[in-house]
Each structure stands twice: as C-alpha cells, then as structure tokens.
Amino acid sequence: MDGKAGLKHSISIKERSRVAITGVVDVFSFDEIQVDVDTVQGMLLIGGEGLHITRLDLDKGDLELDGTIHNINYHDNDIGKPGGSVFSKLFK
C-alpha cells in the first residue's frame, strides 16, 4: 500500500464481542487486554478482555478482532512509531 491515501475509516461493533475496522495502516501492539492500531484517522486504542485478532489485511486496511470490548479510544500521539509495529518487525 502506498501510504494512507484512498483508505476510508470505519468501525463496526457487534454485541461488544466483535469489532471490524477499516482504514487500518498498522498494528503497533496487541495482547488480550489492549490492541493499539494506527488508522488513517489516528491512533486507536481498543481495550477489553480476551481480545484476539481474527483477521488482518494491511493491504486492504482491514482488521477484525473478537473478545469482550470495554472501550475504544482515539489517541492524538503516535504511540508506537519510534520502534515500529509488531508486524513490521516480524516481516522485515
């Protein structure tokens, strides 16, 4: 993908247990209680319990995750930028 151009951002939540996000640029960190995602609209922090990424397609900018969702917040700072994302480190 050539940057953020052309991606549209949306979030769909189904019964607080499944989240689908579009406009995803990168995933900076994830564990069972928080997923930190860079989107075309800024950093997105998703908190909950038992969170699992079920689908990730960075070429299309799509992410889906399951678990119990407690909160979803946008953050103004680029949380993971200096060190790069988990996935960028894995696939270098």
Instruction: Find the CATH number of the domain harbouring 19.
Output: 2.60.40.2000
Q: Give the per-residue pLDDT at 75.
A: 86
Q: Give the per-residue pLDDT at 6.
A: 79
Q: Give the per-residue pLDDT at 67.
A: 98
Domain count, the chain: 1
- Answer whether residue 67 is part of any domain: yes
Distance (Å, rounded) from C-alpha 36 to C-alpha 86? Answer: 10
Q: Give the per-residue pLDDT at 92.
A: 46
- Answer whether residue 2 is part of any domain: no
- Answer whether residue 64 is part of any domain: yes
- Answer whether residue 91 is part of any domain: no
- Answer whether residue 19 is part of any domain: yes
Q: Give the per-residue pLDDT at 22.
A: 97
- Answer whether residue 54 is part of any domain: yes
Secondary element (H or E) of residue 82: none
Domain that holds residue 47: 10-79
Cβ atoms of 40 and 7 closer than 8 Å = yes
pTM of the model: 0.78
pLDDT per residue as tens, the chain (92 positions): 455 667 899 999 999 999 999 999 999 999 999 999 999 999 999 999 999 999 999 999 999 999 999 999 998 765 555 455 555 545 54
Distance (Å, rounded) from C-alpha 12 to C-alpha 42? Answer: 17
Q: Output the six-digit token pair for 26.
A: 């990168």
Q: Position of tokens 């922090």?
A: 45
- Answer whether residue 27 is part of any domain: yes
Instruction: Report H helices in the chain.
Output: 86-90
Cβ atoms of 65 and 13 closer than 8 Å = no
Report which of 69, 63, 75, 58 is spatially closest to residue 32, judged by C-alpha positions. Answer: 69
